[in-house]
Amino acid sequence: MTQESSPPALHAEGLTRRYGSRLALADCDLRIPRGRVVGLVGPNGAGKSTLLQLACGLITPTAGTLRVLGDRPGADAAHLARVGFVAQDTPVYAALTVADHLRMGARLNPSWDPDLARRRVAQVGLPPAQRAGRLSGGQRAQLALTIAAAKRPELLILDEPAAALDPLARDGFLRNLMEFVDELGATAVLSSHLLGDVERVCDHLVVLAAGRVQLAGDVADLLARHRRLVAPRGALDRLGVTPVHVASADGYDHAVVRTADGPPPPEWTVEPVRLEELVLAYLGRATDGSAGAVERAEAHR
């Protein structure tokens, strides 16, 4: 089966999760194809960790369905082995050494790749005899990534893995992540508040806000489907389309619109939209309460 013909990495239909009376995810439909590096972005409390924990089988949906690699998340040990997870605080066992972690990984995971683990530990300079409690935040993140990747998962899920790292450590971490994904031929889903990181490594984007999917699709398609219009303030009223979002500055309106809304009037300056602007436009729209239909760019590859 090719990556395109195999079941999607993640397929949610009407996915809903409540914590008591709090609605963390509301009726989400989402289809993430395989072979992508997916950026999951959204403000605090948007439901990102909830979605990732559902995908790992750590929690179950209140309503709706979620299929991961074609199966119920955490359906059995074999399915668990196909998914690697690096949780938000990149947890490791403080009293165990780096080498202990690798030994434990080998015992617990049938598909463990000892060569990959040893090679990566050496490459990122993790001292095997060092207790994990004495590693820096960046080193702990590298160890957690190494353990998740040495399972040789088909899907690697990372919840804000680089949040606590300095720019240099983050750069190294992301480079490593990309090498892993290439080497494993895996799909990766990472949540992040750092849009620069998402822009750098992700080719698929999911924007969540208030527990709902606001935007989803391959980055190239999403960028091609939107543009930025700039015109003197007030001209927008004559445009006759509903922009995704408008920001005003220095007497000008900057509107992010869908290309499907037709050609812009001649007095408008048309510019390509950047990923950060696109994300902010959809988040702004969700915050304004003007969110309408979810925007999706279906994957073509």
Ligand X SMILES: Nc1ncnc2c1ncn2[C@@H]1O[C@H](COP(=O)(O)OP(=O)(O)OP(=O)(O)O)[C@@H](O)[C@H]1O
**Which spans of this chain sit near ligand X (rule: CB under 6 A)?**
19, 22, 24, 42, 44-50
Residue 187 Cα to chain centre, angstroms: 11
Closest CA to 206 of 1, 12, 6, 68: 12
* Closest approach of ligand X to the CB of residue 278, in Å: 19
* Closest approach of ligand X to the CB of residue 12, in Å: 14
Phi, psi of 108 (to 5 degrees): -90, -20
Backbone angle region of 152, left / alpha / beta, with phi > 0 → left and psi within -120 to 50 → alpha:
left
* Closest approach of ligand X to the CB of residue 19, in Å: 3
* Closest approach of ligand X to the CB of residue 48, in Å: 3
22 versus 238: smaller Cβ distance to ligand X: 22
DSSP string, 31-100: EE-TT-EEEEE--TTSSHHHHHHHHTTSS--SEEEEEETTB-TT-SHHHHHTEEEE-TT----TTSBHHH
6 versus 88: smaller Cβ distance to ligand X: 88
* Closest approach of ligand X to the CB of residue 58, in Å: 11
* Closest approach of ligand X to the CB of residue 194, in Å: 12
39 versus 42: smaller Cβ distance to ligand X: 42
Phi, psi of 171 (to 5 degrees): -60, -45
Helix (H, G, I), strand (E, B) or coil at 78: helix
102 versus 283: smaller Cβ distance to ligand X: 283
Beta carbons within 8 Å of 63's beta carbon, 6+ residues apart: 14, 15, 16, 27
Phi, psi of 26 (to 5 degrees): -125, 105
Residue 23 Cα to chain centre, angstroms: 20
C-beta neighbour count of 239 within 10 angstroms: 19
46 versus 177: smaller Cβ distance to ligand X: 46
* Closest approach of ligand X to the CB of residue 229, in Å: 30
169 versus 209: smaller Cβ distance to ligand X: 209
Residue-level length of the chain: 301
2 versus 44: smaller Cβ distance to ligand X: 44
HSE value, Cβ hemisphere, 13 Å, CA-based, for 39 = 26
* Closest approach of ligand X to the CB of residue 204, in Å: 18
Which of 132-159 are b and which e, b meaning 16 or more Cβ less than 10 Å from the residue's Cβ? beebeebbbbbbbbbbbbbbbbbbbbbb
47 versus 161: smaller Cβ distance to ligand X: 47
